[in-house]
């Protein structure tokens, strides 16, 4: 499969690996938002969280937490963003599931570029709640 992250996992492409176990690797992002920006990647090729089996999606945040603590303590950042981009509309560029753990600093002046809306009224908010609840 022509997938950059599969090639990194197979050792066909180099990476700065900071963690590995049976199911996951964590590597430094090659173009970090801040230095130490880390990607946690399941070794099995899934497109994103939507096609990850429950055994992965249930356990992945345990690893995220370990890495987040190691990053925060190791490089003394002030905070973190933990992000998974899903599909092109959500900013996903590499279609092998991964979670970004991004170090943040009080004075780094980055703002996530998501604009917030207001619901038109309470009924519209109820409709959105129902649409989601009906699919759980
Ligand atoms: P996405 O937009 O899919 O959520 O994020 C993909 C991330 O993978 C980007 O932040 C990008 O910098 C990173 N990336 C792309 N190619 C490589 C690579 O070959 N090596 C590493 N370490 N990171 C990569
Ligand atoms: Zn892959």
Atom of ligand 1 nearest to the CA of 13: 19
pLDDT of residue 21: 95
Tell me if 103 sits within 8 A of 71, measured CB to CB. Answer: yes
| The model's pTM | 0.94
Active site residues: 98
CA of 73 to the centre of ligand 1 (A): 23
Q: What are phi and psi of 75, to 5 degrees?
A: -115, 5
Tell me if 27 sits within 8 A of 117, measured CB to CB. Answer: no
Cα–Cα dist 12/69, whole Å: 29
Tens digits of pLDDT across the chain (136 residues): 799 999 999 999 999 999 999 999 999 999 999 999 999 999 999 999 999 999 888 889 999 999 999 999 999 999 999 999 999 999 999 999 999 999 999 999 887 778 889 999 999 999 999 999 999 9
**β-bridge mates for residue 24, sequence order:** 42
pLDDT of residue 75: 97
pLDDT of residue 112: 72
Atom of ligand 1 nearest to the CA of 4: 19
Where do the H-state alpha helices sit in 1-136? Answer: 4-10, 54-75, 122-133
The preferred substitution site among 7, 11, 31 for testing ligand 1, maximizing ligand atoms within 8 Å of CB, is 31
């Amino acid at each position: 499969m022509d997938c950059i992250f599969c090639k990194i996992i197979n050792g066909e492409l180099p990476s700065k690996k900071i963690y590995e176990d049976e199911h996951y690797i964590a590597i430094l992002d090659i173009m970090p938002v801040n230095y130490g920006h880390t990607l946690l990647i399941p070794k099995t090729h899934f497109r994103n969280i939507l096609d990850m089996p429950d055994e992965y999606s249930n356990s992945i945040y345990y690893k995220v937490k370990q890495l987040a603590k190691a990053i925060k303590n190791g490089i003394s950042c002030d905070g973190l963003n933990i992000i998974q981009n899903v599909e092109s509309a959500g900013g996903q560029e590499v279609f092998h599931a991964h979670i970004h753990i991004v170090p943040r600093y009080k004075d780094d002046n980055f703002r996530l570029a998501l604009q917030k809306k207001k619901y038109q009224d309470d009924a519209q908010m109820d409709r959105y709640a129902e649409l989601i609840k009906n699919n759980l």
